[in-house]
Structure 1
Amino acid sequence: MRDRSADRRVQLLDVGERLLGTDGSAAVGMRAVCREAGLSPRYFYESFDSREALLVAVYNRVEDRLMNHIADGGGAQPLTPRDVLERCANFFEEDPRRARILLREPLADDTLRKHSASRTPAFIRALIPLVGPELRDAVPRDAEQMEILSTVLGGALVALYLEWADGRLNVGRETVADAAAHVVSALVAMPGSAPPAR
C-alpha cells in the first residue's frame, strides 16, 4: 500500500512538473493533474493537501535536481563561482522548462513567489560549501546583509538566465556564465559585504 501511494505521488509530481514547466502555474489544477495522471481526486489528496502544496513540491524537486547537478561537477577540486554559474546555465539549457519552474513562475504565482523568496538565502548558503574560499570569504555573515544580497543577487541572475533561456539573449552558455560571474562579484562587493569574489 505504501509503495503504491509513493508511486501515485511520483505520478502526480511528474504531471505537475510537466504542466508547470510547459503551461505555467495556471494550468496546475487538481482536476487537470488528476486527469493527466489518470488518478481520482482522492489520490491527489492522499499526497497533497492542496494545489499549492503540489506547486511547492514540484519547485523543490527541480531545485534539488539543480543542486545535485551543480554538486556532481565538483570532483576533487572545489568549484569556482563561475563553475557553479555555468552549471546552472547548463541545467536550464538541457531543459528550458526547468527555467520556467524555478525562475519565471515565481514571478507570476503568489505561492511560488513567497516560497522562492524564502528559499533564496538557503539556496545561496547551500552553494557556498561547493565553491572555493574566494566566495566563502566574500559572503556576508550578517543575516540582514545576507537577506539584501540574496534579494539583489536573485533578481539579477533570474533576469539574466530567463532572457537567455527564453532565447531573447542570443549568446552562448559560456558567455552567460561569464556575465553571471561578473554580476556575483559586483553584488557581493556591495557596501557592507566583503571584497568581491574573483
Structure 2
Amino acid sequence: MWADSVRLIEVWCSIAVMNTSKVWGGQSPQDRSSSRRESLLSAAGALLGDGGAVAVTMRAVVRAAQLSPRYFYESFASREELLFAVHDRVEDQLLQRLQSVSSSGDLRDAVRSSFEIIRDFFEEDPRRARILLREPLADDMLRSHSATRIPIFTRAVIQLLAQGHPEVAEATGGDEADWMIRSTALSGALISLYLEYTDGHIDVEPDRLVDAAVDVVYALGGLRDTRP
C-alpha cells in the first residue's frame, strides 16, 4: 500500500515536470513566462497612465492582463517592483528614441531636436508623460525611484549630445555631487515647464515650448551659445 502511494506520487511529479518543460503552441516555458510578464507590464502601464499609482494593485493588474493571480509573483516580487519596471520601461523607450539625435551639427539644434523628440513621444501617448513626469510627484515610492534614475537618464542624454561637442563635457564636469545638483535642478525645471503647459497654464504653441526648454538647458546647464 505504501509502495503504491509512493509510486503514485512519483508519477504525479513526473507529469508536473513534463508539463512545465513541454512546448505548448510553439512556446517554451520560458517564452510563456516572458509573454505573461509582458502582459502584466502592459496592463500595469495602462493602469498607471490612466489612473495613477493608486490604480495599480495586484488584483487590478492580473484582471486587466487576464491572468491568474499566481502568475503575478512569477514575474514580480511586489507591486513596487512592478511600478518601477513600468516606469523604467517607458524611460528606456524614450532614451531609445533619443538615439536618433544627430550631434554632428550645431549644438543648439541638437538640443532642440532632443526636445522635439520628447514632445512627440509624450503627445503620441499622454499616459507616458503621466508615468514619467506626474506620478513620481504624487507617489512617494515612484518619487524615490525616479530620483535615482534622473541623473542616469540625464547623463545618457548628455553623452549623446557631447559627441562632437566638447563644450558639453566641459559644462557638465565636476564631481558627482555637482552633477546631482545640476541634473536635479534641470529635470525639475523642465518637468514643471511641461506639466504647466499640459495643464493649460502656459498657453503657447508647441514650438515655443521647445524653444523655452532649450533656453532652460543652456541657462541651468552652463552652456554658452556660440552662434552669432
Does the TM-score normalized on the shorter chain lie above 0.5? yes
Q: 1:131: which partner in 2?
A: 161
Distance 1:180 1:122 in 2: 20
Q: 2:99: which partner in 1?
A: 71
> Partner letter of residue 23 of structure 1?
G
- 1:49-74 Cα offsets, whole Å, 9 max, x none, are 01100100000000001001111243
> Partner letter of residue 185 of structure 1?
Y
> Partner letter of residue 115 of structure 2?
L
Residue 87 (structure 2) pairs with residue 59 (structure 1): yes
Distance 2:97 2:43 in 1: 22
> Percent identity among equivalent residues?
52
Displacement of 1:197 after TM fit?
4.2
Q: 2:216: which partner in 1?
A: 183
Distance 1:118 1:97 in 2: 21
Q: 2:60: which partner in 1?
A: 32
Q: 1:98: which partner in 2?
A: 128
Matches within 5 A, 1:78-117: 80-117=110-147
Residue 194 (structure 2) pairs with residue 166 (structure 1): no
Distance 2:203 2:215 in 1: 18
Displacement of 1:183 after TM fit?
0.8
> Partner letter of residue 175 of structure 1?
R
Q: How many residues align?
A: 192
Identify which of structures 1 and 2 has the higher relative contact order when contacts are C-alpha pairs closer than 8 Å and 6+ apart.
1
Q: Scaled by the length of structure 1, what TM-score is found?
A: 0.90
Q: In 2 relative to 1, CA 76–64 (structure 1 residues): closer, same or farther, beyond 3 Å? A: same
Q: After alignment, is 26-35 or 135-144 more displaced?
A: 135-144
Contact 2:102 2:110 (8 Å CA) reproduced: no
Q: 1:47: which partner in 2?
A: 75
Q: Scaled by the length of structure 2, what TM-score is found?
A: 0.79
SS at match of 2:49: helix
User: Looking at CA atoms only, which structure, 1 or 2, has the larger radius of gyration?
Assistant: 2
